[in-house]
Amino acid sequence: MAKTFDYDLFVIGGGSGGVRAARVAAQAGASVALAEESRYGGTCVIRGCVPKKLMVFASEYPGYVEDAQAFGWKVEAGSFDWPAFHDKMHGELDRLEGVYRKILSSNGVETFDSRARVKDPHTVELADGGTKSAKHILVATGGWPVRPDLPGAEHALTSNDVFHLKELPKSILVVGGGYIACEFAGILNGLGVEVTQFYRGAQILRGFDSEARGLISEEMIQRGVDLHLGTNILEMAETEDGFRVKASNGTERTFGQVMFATGRSPNTGNMGLEDAGVKLGRRGEILVDEYSQTNVPSIYAIGDVTDRVNLTPVAIREGMAFVETVFKGNPTPVDHDLIPTAIFTQPEFGTVGLSEEAAREQEPIDVYCTSFRPMQEAFAGRADRVLMKLVVAKESRRVLGCHIVAPGAGEMIQLAGIAVKMGATKEDFDRTVAVHPTMAEEIVTMAEPIRSA
């Protein structure tokens, strides 16, 4: 007699990937349950993309006011009311969490507001000690920011904590050089906080195109971020005035707050995974195959907990591919190639495909690139520059990478990403008539390469 289970699928984690997988599986006729120990919506909705983008919007208004004055408007910026913005932002997050809960309930997914862990290949144990059985278990518990192991680090903020500040500090030290560190350095600088940023590496945004990284770094400094490269924090201690920080460059300074954005780790601690036989990687990530299946056939994992490509839309696509594979009889590997990405630094960065450095390691290339002051910024008297860059294979002429540093770069790269994903050549770009006057027209008007490699 076939073994019966409480559910066809039990999802652990109520973030974007887990909720999407649960909903689509339920719509396909599966009996589904989901457990979430914190808030529905996960990192993206509650403590990541959504509140961060709202803060990006808020931080850009001083620049809009300056531009308005340059364009003839008699306007003045008042002071920024953080408590009013903070309350409205959290009201929006509450609304979105309600949407996520409704999505699950309206599709017949049973939910448990509880921590859950894997007991064995077909059993999930809830925090109250109760157990539920399932034919398939999907782990979608995401990642969590980590603090470095150094004296006083327990006093510092992480990206999770910034959204809950009761008031903005007068000054802050942001430690890190990845996209989270750089985004928050720009945000807080725009909101009027005196921002210092330490990064131990030679240039911020490691792994991205070098030319784009360089321009973003220069523009951040020009806009007021006190960026120190090749610099790390050695220790910190709480004082009456804030936090005293000793740096690797020999300096000691006091800041109102210190924020670490020095990495995230997969949420696999005390999950029972290893006891159930699931293999984990060096950083605690769940090891999966191209179908998101672990070495235990009944257990799958998607999203940041697998540490593949840690982006919300990727987790959602992994969840969809999982349902296609397991519940619709259509084995669907996850496509992690040529994913367009936006980094909401100031200036904004949109990128898809290979950096110039990675491409030239692969094959001979031509590089088309231009950097200029856009019309709006030039008229306003600002020195801000933008960058448009195409990395092209010499032999096939296929566009291997597109990199944009400019206001609205995220919007532009979404559309450019379609062309790059389709395998467009430089000549395909050239045949496209320019939309004038726009910044993006430069993508289709660069006639000659500036260098080959």
If one counts the domains in the chain, the total is 3
Q: Give 116-140 pLDDT, tens digit per residue.
A: 999 999 999 999 999 999 999 999 9
- One domain, residues 250 and 189: yes
Given 261, 279, 301, the domain boundary residue is 261
Distance CA 232, CA 321 (A): 41
pLDDT of 184 strictly over 50? yes
pLDDT of 15 strictly over 80? yes
Whether residue 177 is contained in a domain is answered as yes
- One domain, residues 233 and 314: no
Whether residue 336 is contained in a domain is answered as no
Question: In this predicted structure, what is the pLDDT of residue 2?
Answer: 59
Question: In this predicted structure, what is the pLDDT of residue 77?
Answer: 85
Q: Where are the alpha helices (DSSP H) in 107-168?
A: 159-162
The CATH number that applies at residue 387 is: 3.30.390.30
The β-bridge partners of 216 are: none
Q: Give 296-336 pLDDT, tens digit per residue.
A: 999 999 999 999 999 999 999 999 999 999 999 999 999 99
Sign of the dihedral defined by the CA atoms of residues 163, 166, 167, 169, in that order: negative
Whether residue 352 is contained in a domain is answered as yes
- One domain, residues 174 and 241: yes
Whether residue 94 is contained in a domain is answered as yes
Residue among 268, 408, 238 nearest 276 (CA): 268
Q: Give 26-70 pLDDT, tens digit per residue.
A: 999 999 999 999 999 999 999 999 999 999 999 999 999 999 999
pLDDT-above-70 percentage for the chain: 100
Catalytic center residues = 436
- One domain, residues 11 and 137: yes
Q: Give 250-306 pLDDT, tens digit per residue.
A: 999 999 999 999 999 999 999 999 999 999 999 999 999 999 999 999 999 999 999
Distance CA 418, CA 406 (A): 19
The CATH number that applies at residue 255 is: 3.50.50.60
Instruction: State pTM to two decimals.
Output: 0.96
Q: Give 218-238 pLDDT, tens digit per residue.
A: 999 999 999 999 999 999 999
- One domain, residues 135 and 175: no
- One domain, residues 48 and 121: yes
- One domain, residues 140 and 269: yes
Which residues constitute the domain of residue 300? 7-144+265-327
Distance CA 181, CA 345 (A): 9
Q: Give 72-91 pLDDT, tens digit per residue.
A: 999 998 899 999 999 999 99
- One domain, residues 399 and 361: yes
Token couple for 117: 């862990």
Question: In this predicted structure, what is the pLDDT of residue 1?
Answer: 46
Whether residue 389 is contained in a domain is answered as yes
